[in-house]
Structure 1
């Protein structure tokens, strides 16, 4: 019986190896861009089609170790940077002013942090982070001027 099991395992392994020999691998210089992705908007003509389109936030729900890592980020430095950084103080911040006036020292750090912070909130469906992100995003959009520009003023 033991001999039979060994032979059966050997034949299965031999079949798998023989089948693998029929497999052809091809290395491409870049992912194919055609046809265009019908599910998500990409580049429009005359621009070339993009082979890798960024998925909308929330299209993927993190699970397992990735969710745990995102939860650690939310509980750590990234999730509480607004409590730590002087650049993310709402008082006198130009991003919260309807005319874009105020302290210009935070004009660059805040949007970079906010992009990742807001995405983190929506990925985790975290009400605290979403509420804090919206506190910054909504006034910035409300400050849009007639020429289309919004946010802090460069004057």
Structure 2
């Protein structure tokens, strides 16, 4: 089962900013998508997608919305009730985990992390997350 679209979009918002910058607001996202499609995109649509009241990204906005966050695999934004193959579900789940890993790494100040081997070893993300978690605990003031 894939995570709800609202959760996937929230994960993109969490991922889609630099370490010392705040996440994009609904208005900023709508403005960026509006610029990409050269047409107004309502802030309410973005809010609805993030809150879960909207269950699908309009087809003409999928690629522009993905581009706002640097996402190349637009299948990640598939509607919640789409008929997906098991391979498509696996890709979405893998991307969901990858985005979480990269966000955590960014927040810890990791400068570079390569995840291209994840396709060969699906457990790699779990291993990397465990390593990051161990680093966090080791470096936390409570660990001393």
TM-score where L is the length of structure 1:
0.23
Greater RCO, 1 or 2 (C-alpha within 8 Å, sep 6+): 2
Quick check: which one's helix share is greater? Answer: 2
